[in-house]
Structure 1
Amino acid sequence: MNCDQAVLEASLSLLSVESRNLLSSLLNTKKVLTHVGPDGITRQRDWRGLASLANITNELKLSIDTQCKDKVGKVLELWIDMNDGTATVQNLLKHLELIDRFDVQDDLKTLAIEDKLLDDVESDIITVEDKTFGAPQQYHAYVLYAQEDREFFEKLRKNVTDEGFSVCSEDNLLPGYASRYQPLSRLMLLRCRHIILIYSPDFLRTPALKFFMNLAQADGITNRKNLKLIPVMFRECVLPEHLRFYHNLRYTYPEDKAPFNFWKKLNDTLGPVDLNSDQTQITTASSEVISELTNETNGFTPVKQLHPNGINMNTLTLPSIPNESVSLGDLRIDMKPEVTSLSHSSLGGRKKKLKSIKNFFFTPLKPFRRSKAEKQKEIVVDN
């Protein structure tokens, strides 16, 4: 059974779910017996032999063995991420032959004949880079510009490319599409982190650019991607009402007269360079960690504590728990959360205390009080 040449040259990133499941089910289980290949090298007849042929280090293999459940899936992922052009179906079949796994090889060829070996991603091969690498590529930004501003676009592309960013435009589109709107829309919205708009009077006079600009703006609002659009004011023009609230990055010529470094600001907006960082979550929590210590310190004490990731961090400790009673001069407050039962003797003592307090406040008023007999005596005298 022979495979089509296009299938053999396809990247392993295009393998279907059925193909990946087949490889995992047959190669994840370790084989005790080894095999000496035609090159005279002894290899394991499972995922370990495939990892060795994919130039995966022994340290990574040990990590895969102890941490990964789907070991073949991780091997394929690391092999593809090398991006050296070796992760193809043809090389996979050759490696299976070197580790004496003709059974797996035959099953993959059967899937290829049944058109089940690869995913149908023909519609996603849009750019020249997609065809070169055999799989859809991701870009940091898609650039919309008028042909009259092409010189500035070339300058922009060179500056950001030198910093490690990848940008694309209509120039990257493969020829042969009946209409450019459908493939370019999919490229902009699904495969580009940002959309750079190079504003100029000619930009606003081009209907196609206005269409893609409105499409990108609508996608940014729908998916709440505030930084999807990066408007660059290259040549001064009056923007439409719905674009005036965006903050524009203004290009000043000559550049040495500019109030800021235009290219640095653009690169900072595009960053980070690693496209995989879009899947990471940014933690906005404070770096200060508050922990409670049972020491006798009544103030805040800075201590050194290890972060879960192993980073030393300055932390704040809560003051120690107060004693059961706190003295404020002669006043003493009992800090007892429980309400104890009151005996008759304790009630009697509290009554005496209340009586003494009453005498303290009302004793000075006694000279001003008159008994009933005194009041009657005064009435008789008056009469």
Structure 2
Amino acid sequence: MASGEKKMVLHMSIAAHQLLSKLLRPKLSGHDWRSLADCMGFTYEDILDLECDMDPVVSIIRQWEKQDGATVEKLLLFLEKIERPDVIEDLEPFIESTPLPSEYRKSDIKERRLSLELERLTVSDEIFDAFICYAKEDRSFAYKILTTLESPPFCRKICIDYRDYVPGNCRIDQTAKIIEHRCIRLIAILSPNFTSSSSAGFQVRIALNLSPDFQQRRVIPILYEECEIPEILRPIYYLNYKDLDDCERPHFWKRLASSLGYVPKGSPQVQLKGHRSPYNSPSGSPQNLRKINDTSLTDKNDRNKSSKEKKERSFNDKHKLRGFNLLKSRKCQ
């Protein structure tokens, strides 16, 4: 170990973070995550806000571990202060396997990425358009999404756990790697079962952590049954399935498939290769669009003017011909 080098909470495995969440979430006055947050320096107002979070333990750990002094040693002192020796004991094997900061050199990161690419995570080594996140009670609807999106005309590649996971790996780590490295989007089936499922909430948080500012559309929520939308998903526009009738459902599937990259044949959104629509280009500002509209209007006026002139020429030529024929007949007489 390098002199003075200490293990960081940031470098602990996902399984260790999940264990902290499991052990500290139950309400134990003076011994739960609220007490830990207080030790970490969170204000009373911050803790009240975090109570509405789907997983407040993950939230406080993620925020605290960004600090320079967020060491494993300090975390253990906090756990000791709130009298949770059971958590310390359960974390010991994870702490032993946590690497030192010096092991996170750039060369090591490249090697880890290479090993991840070679690691067998799913039955087929392909990139999926979406990962289906659901509570086990909603498996029938998850299957309906799977079969509909993979069938024509959509033909999307969908990942679902019971069909695509390769057995033998740690389920938590495997899920995290698949969502991060193998799936472009995550479809979340929202229902009362979802809000009470820790595994479903964990999968959503992984996807959201990949784009915390919502710049990338990583999560696509579907309201399957009436429930309270989780706090972390409220900023995201969701698809409503529960209130649809038979006439409206075809539009639902088309919208869902479109969010995964499906483009209907003959759609005006399809562009020729190398062609850039002004509406989709950086120059497609309101001012530029106004210029385009003005140009179109000018072209239309020019066409109308040309058509009018053509009719007038035809009319004059017709009368000239009649006059010529009349003059010719008089000469013949």
Greater strand fraction, Structure 1 or Structure 2: 1
TM over 0.5: no
Greater helix fraction, Structure 1 or Structure 2: 2
Higher relative contact order (CA 8 A, sep 6+): 2
Query: Based on CA coordinates, which of the two structures has the bigger radius of gyration?
Result: 1
TM-score (norm 1): 0.38
TM-score (norm 2): 0.43
